[in-house]
Amino acid sequence: MNSLAKSFSSSLLHYTHHKNLKNGRSLHAQIIKTGLRSNLFLANNLINLYAKCGHIIEAKTQFEEIQEKDVVSWNCIINGYSQQNPYGSSIAIQLFQQMRKENTFPNPFTFAGVFAAASNLFDSSIGKQAHSLTIKTSNCSDVFVGSSLLDMYCKSGLLSDARQVFDKMPQRNSVSWASMISGYASERNAVEALELFKLMRLEEEEGVNEFVCTSVLSALVLPEFVENGKQIHCLGVKNGLLSFVSVWNSLVTMYVKCGNLDDAVRTFELSSDKNSITWSAMITGYAQSGDSHKALKLFSEMQVVGLRPSEFTLVGVLNACSNVIAVGEGKQIHSYLLKLGFESQIFIRTALIDMYAKCGRIDDARKGFDQLQEPDIVLWTSMIGGYVQNGENEEALSLYGRMEMEGILPNELTMASVLKACSTLAALEQGKQIHARTIKYGFGLEVPIGSALSTMYAKCGNLEDCSFVFRRMPGRDVVSWNAMISGLSQNGRGREALELFEEMKLNGTNPDYVTFVNLLSACSHLGLVEKGWVYFKSMVDDFRIEPRLEHYACMVDILSRCGKLQEAKEFIESVPIDHGMCLWRILLSACRNYRNFELGAYAGERLMELGSKESSAYVLLSSIYAASDRKEDVERVRSMMSLRGVNKEPGCSWIEIKSQVHVFVVGDQLHPQIGEISAEVRRLTKQMREEGYKPVSDSNFHDISSSKQKIYT
């Protein structure tokens, strides 16, 4: 090779390293002008230049112009395509097959590109065929080939095959160790990742570098591994690895995922060289830990610093908006990501739909969903879940039906959302059909399917099937136990619910706040005042669960049902949290049942002071005053009801017959069979009267429904 060709080659390598496409093209023109375009060494360098700069089509054109290609020519184009998307990786495999047909003998760099392409395609069969060829061509002992092969098996989820390759490697480098540790991390197997990391420190003299450090840190995603993470943090300080921003990012992410937000914040603040990944990790950490307002504030600080957010940053911010129902901020982020050109990315769309749905803007969520030509299963699931979350369960079931018709296979979260819709509608038959679908699709009774099924059967009153599912679940989480306890409590089997709670504790499952709502509800139905107090105090003293409004409401209900009205009043006035009108409403209803006019009037007046908009409070208070012959107060309550525009909500009920749900609303004449239904009601009413039936009335309390007609006319 003459001096000019050497000079061109040196310049091409420089431009490739710095990805300077403009100067590289100018040099390409000079090569053509000087008649050196047939020089194989320069031609291969040009392929490499265009491939590394992301212009794979120009690289392919240059490759095809070479008359007599050598192994380097093939390696450059195969490796170039293997770094592209899955479509590019499939072309890389085709080029390798063509290379073999043309009898060009592959070398270790060829196999590295093939294994990388197989990894991108998640096609282990192609990788295994190439693996066989490396053995046949005696390339398997090469550390570069071994590391690439190892990475391919790990990314394909074949960890046992990967470990066999790793154990048989005659020589390992840091890439080999990092790849194997990352493989265990991707499968959330922190124990094996840590064991391998310890083995490396014993066997390797070169020590831990930044790649190995980030790999092992990525495996630590549970609170029980935070101490291991701190030890690796110390090792990173000792080995001077904190000069790498990737290590800082991994440390922040590790502390966040292990639930140690304070150390995550300290690590984030100590980092002097933050990039968008560092900010994304901390923003996501705040959002996942329930500090969504801090997440939004941190994003604002990121903007002030002038750092451009990545799509992952924006997903974290949208999740924060979802958590605190900040639809205004969510819309601003939507506009911002449109400006940055991120909206076409599927996970951004998913986060947007989730944000609008959780903020109650289900129509906006549906618009985003309908704009997509081919929504994937994650988007279908997010949209169905959004409908369920907003109480539009019929729409959720309808969308699931459309999904089935389009041949989209659901995942476990899809089925869990659909089952929740059936639970809310008490649609037992549809729930059974969905249960059958879960079996058809091969889903077991693990969480979340098992929990959703037991909840559905419990809420539909089918305790036999609820128990059947519950007892056959391979692993029960607190949601499963809660569903079973709630089902027993709500269906008149409170003592069994309390017994099941004792079994739950013996099983080693810690209760949550929902568990105690169910237990207190069971005590309320059973009239177990003392037992209720025991559970209420145990929740705070034994399980460190702060009482919520639901718990206070259950305690008021327990006391009220047993006639301990004065004690209930004193308890309400001692409640340390803002309870609005909920607790006074429970006491007012109980005062009616026990004919305690004085205390009922007190509770009712408290509700009036708080500006209650519920018609039932006005009706009950008016009835109490009427029973006490306090006509002026009756008129005052009625006038206040009218002045505040309070209307009685019409009653609504539904029944499922032959897989069809029939909905009935008071005064509604829209049902297609309303004539036949009304005739049958009149016939039954006449028959009841003829047989001597008389409606039960309370002479002490006067229903003001007839009086209310005067208000509305």
Q: Which residue has the higher pLDDT, 640 or 165?
A: 165
Q: What is the pLDDT of residue 708?
A: 39
Query: What is the mean predicted confidence (pLDDT) over 680-694?
Result: 87
Residue 392, burial from CB neighbour count under 10 angstroms (0-12, 13-18, 19+): middle
What topology is assigned to 555-649 in CATH?
1.25.40
Does the pLDDT of residue 701 top 50, yes or no? no
- Is pLDDT of 367 > 80? yes
Per-residue pLDDT at 337 exceeds 50: yes
Q: Are 390 and 362 in contact (CB under 8 A)?
A: yes
Whole-angstrom distance, CA of residue 352 vs CA of residue 344: 11
CA–CA separation, 547 and 583 (whole Å): 14
DSSP 140: T
Helix, strand, coil percentages, rounded to 5, for the chain: 70, 0, 25
Mean pLDDT over 17-21 rounds to: 91
394: tokens are 């019929």
**Three-state SS string across 294-338, please?**
HHHHHHHHHHHHCCCCCHHHHHHHHHHHHHCCCHHHHHHHHHHHH
Rounded to whole angstroms, how far apart are CA atoms 362 and 352? 11
3-class secondary-structure state, position 656: strand
Q: Which fold has domain 274-369?
A: 1.25.40
Backbone angles phi, psi at 206, to 5 degrees: -70, -15
Average pLDDT, the chain: 89
Segment 584-610, tens digit of pLDDT: 889 988 988 888 888 988 988 888 887
Q: What is the pLDDT of residue 696?
A: 55
For residues 66-82, average pLDDT = 93
Distance CA 38, CA 481 (A): 75
Span 79-90, average pLDDT = 87
Dump pLDDT digits (tens) for 354-363.
Answer: 999 999 999 9
Arithmetic mean of pLDDT, 47-68: 92
Q: What confidence score (pLDDT) does residue 436 get?
A: 95
How far apart CA 167 and CA 152 sit, in angstroms, is 15
- CA angle 352-355-358, nearest 5°? 150
- Percent of residues, the chain, with pLDDT higher than 90: 61
DSSP states along 448-494: THHHHHHHHHHHTT-HHHHHHHHHH-SS--HHHHHHHHHHHHHTT-H
pTM: 0.68
CA–CA gap between residue 225 and residue 194 (Å, rounded):
10
The model's confidence at residue 635, banded by pLDDT at 50, 70 and 90, is: confident
pLDDT tens digit sequence for 495-512: 999 999 999 999 999 999
Report the alpha-carbon distance of residue 50 to residue 635 in Å, rounded: 87
Say yes or no: do domains 274-369 and 555-649 share a fold: yes
pLDDT above 90 (res 335): yes
Q: How far is CA 40 from CA 60, 406, 612, in A?
A: 15, 52, 86
CA dihedral 31, 37, 41, 42 (to 10 degrees): 30
What mean pLDDT do residues 65-86 have?
Answer: 91
Cα separation, 582 vs 614, in Å, equals 11
Paired strand residues for 652: 665
Instruction: Return the beta strands (E) in 566-634 as ranges.
Output: none
> Between these two residues, 374 and 73, which has the higher pLDDT value?
73
pLDDT at 72 over 60: yes
157-184 burial: b if 16+ Cβ within 10 Å, else e: ebbebbbebbeebeebbbbbbbbbbbbb
Share of the chain above pLDDT 70, in %: 96
Is residue 712 predicted with pLDDT exceeding 50? no
- 8 A C-beta contact, residue 457 and residue 469: yes
- Does the pLDDT of residue 657 top 90, yes or no? no
Average pLDDT over residues 86-110: 91
Q: What tens digit of pLDDT does each residue of 133-160 get?
A: 888 888 878 888 888 899 899 988 899 9
DSSP conformation class of 98: H
Non-local (6+) Cβ contacts of 47 within 8 A are 59, 62, 63, 73, 76, 77, 80
pLDDT at 1 over 70: no
Of the pLDDT bands very low, low, confident and very high (cuts 50, 70, 90), residue 697 is low
Domain boundaries, the chain: 274-369, 374-470, 476-546, 555-649, 653-691
Which pLDDT belongs to residue 711?
33
Segment 461-484 shows an average pLDDT of: 92
Amino acid occupying residue 42: L
Stretch among 297-311, 435-449, 681-695 having the lowest mean pLDDT: 681-695
Q: pLDDT at residue 558 above 70?
A: yes
Token pair 């499963």: residue: 480
The DSSP line for 330-394 is HHHHHHHHHHHT-TTSHHHHHHHHHHHHHTT-HHHHHHHHHT-SS--HHHHHHHHHHHHHTT-HH
Please determine, for residue 710, whether its predicted confidence score (pLDDT) is greater than 50.
Answer: no
Q: What is the mean pLDDT of residues 312-320?
A: 93
